[in-house]
Structure 1
Amino acid sequence: MTVTEIDVLPNLRDLGGLPAADGRVTRTGVLYRSALPAPGDARPTAVDHWPARTVVDLRSAREFATRVHPLRSDDTAVHQISLLSDAEVAAPNQGAHLADIYQRILTNAGERLVEILRVAATAPGPVLLHCAAGKDRTGVAVALLLRTAGVEPDDIVADYLSTNEHMGAVLARITRFAPELGQTHPNDRDLRGAIPEAIEGVLAQWDTHPGGVHGWAQSHGATDETLELWTARFTVST
């Protein structure tokens, strides 16, 4: 891993260009995902508009509290919406139970996922979602935003799995920029990479819920207005 590679924010991508329902497509410049930003990062070339105007940091309270967020500025608002507790982040042997972790996020953090949806629908864009690796917590949150907008499960899984192409840089960054986590990072959850069955289980939960993913979101506090605003903001007719 060269100095140049580790100083560029890995696993960063614009989620525009994905086919959605009714012949629509997701817009570019609206929603980004990435691994953990770090102080002194070089300007990324993977997206057109940088920095994002709104950042949603999905890390736990302990992770978030270690330092001022490097993207926070007069022009960029940072929202902390934790999807896993400090204890859950530090728990050992997580890689063998990744699907269970994702299901616990749905059970324990459903209202927080809906809050992410609300922020994405209403806050200035582009909106960047990240955690530490940009894989698990980010993967579940991004899946909700994509599925709500009508992106098909196969395309959501494909985006989720593309994180595996970046895991070498992601793990190097976590080791360098999150030393406060000690031996819990890189943990086995990160070392296992993205596992399709884990995100497929999440998508199945939403699609089998009465009313589908919209019904699930509404059962956790989403309003019709939020769902409509997000779909209108994130998709466009082709």
Structure 2
Amino acid sequence: MTVTDIDVLPNLRDLGGLPTNDGRRTRTEVLYRSALPAPGDARPTAVAEWPARTVIDLRSPREFATRAHPLQSDDTTVHQVSLLTDAEVTAPSQGTRLADVYQGILVNAGDKLVALLQIAATAPGPILLHCAAGKDRTGIAVALLLRISGVDPRDILADYVSTNEHMPAVLARITRFAPELGRTHPHDRDLRGAVPDALDGVLSEWDSHSGGVHGWIQSRGATDESIQLWKDRFTE
């Protein structure tokens, strides 16, 4: 059988190898990001170890409940950590700045970001983060874990923007494998692609907080232990 582009999970990459502000680097085979996996996906070549042992699915409850997660198995545990509610996902986005959507996640889903950090710090790896397109919710979640680890905002933004290379495949996959998302998910939000100013506003919010991103996540309930566990796990 011939493997076509649409049969391969798009926007999948290992977030290892990035420099940190204390002279370390992020480890490979710890944290992956991607768009929505689909049943029957070909084994990807973009990462060394597959499937991930832990999946953090950032979609809303209604999105998550549409069908069984294709990666759920005896060897892979899937956690649902919704960064947007059903109503927020389906709300018309015409005229809504992506930056405002991102700031809304910081305001309304801080406890979910704390939960995400705890899973990332303690669950078996590799860990895969994804939402529907792997762009907005995944972008914020990845940015948080990278910034906590000391990755420079410029490198975080560069990884975020690289998602734009994959958006045609992402949108084609949503149409084929998740048509219900095509009906309810605001496509104009996805057609805008990754918008650097939107994520830059998130990074600025974290860095301007007393104590930086560590202080910000602690003010939402994260512990010193979970922060240190994640840093020790993800950097070398």
TM range (shorter): over 0.9
Match of residue 196 from structure 1? 196
Higher deviation after alignment, 140-149 or 3-12: 3-12
Structure 1 residue 184 displacement after superposition = 3.0
Alignment of 1:46-85 (within 5 A): 46-85=46-85
Q: Which runs of 5+ in 1 are unaligned?
A: none
For residues 157 and 96 of structure 1, the distance between their equivalents in structure 2, rounded to whole angstroms, comes to: 21
Match of residue 27 from structure 2? 27
Q: Which runs of 5+ in 2 are unaligned?
A: none
Structure 1 residue 21 displacement after superposition = 2.0
Structure 1 residue 175 displacement after superposition = 1.1
Query: RMSD across aligned C-alpha pairs, in angstroms?
Result: 1.3
- Count the aligned residue pairs: 235
Misfit runs of 4+, over 3 Å: none
For residues 89 and 56 of structure 1, the distance between their equivalents in structure 2, rounded to whole angstroms, comes to: 18
CA contact (8 A) 2:59 2:83 kept: yes
For residues 186 and 38 of structure 2, the distance between their equivalents in structure 1, rounded to whole angstroms, comes to: 16
Match of residue 13 from structure 2? 13
CA contact (8 A) 1:29 1:125 kept: yes
TM-score, normalised to structure 1, is: 0.96
The one-letter code sitting in structure 2 at the alignment partner of 1:104 is: G
For residues 150 and 122 of structure 2, the distance between their equivalents in structure 1, rounded to whole angstroms, comes to: 18
Match of residue 229 from structure 2? 229
Match of residue 179 from structure 2? 179
For residues 104 and 60 of structure 1, the distance between their equivalents in structure 2, rounded to whole angstroms, comes to: 15
The one-letter code sitting in structure 1 at the alignment partner of 2:25 is: V
Match of residue 219 from structure 1? 219
CA contact (8 A) 1:174 1:185 kept: no
Structure 1 residue 16 displacement after superposition = 0.2
Match of residue 103 from structure 2? 103
What secondary structure sits across from 2:146 in the alignment?
Answer: helix
TM-score, normalised to structure 2, is: 0.97
CA contact (8 A) 2:61 2:82 kept: yes
CA contact (8 A) 1:95 1:188 kept: no
CA contact (8 A) 2:92 2:186 kept: no
Change (3 A) 1:229 1:53: same
For residues 144 and 106 of structure 2, the distance between their equivalents in structure 1, rounded to whole angstroms, comes to: 10
Change (3 A) 1:203 1:95: farther
State, as a whole percentage, how many aligned pairs show the same letter. 77
What secondary structure sits across from 2:67 in the alignment?
Answer: coil
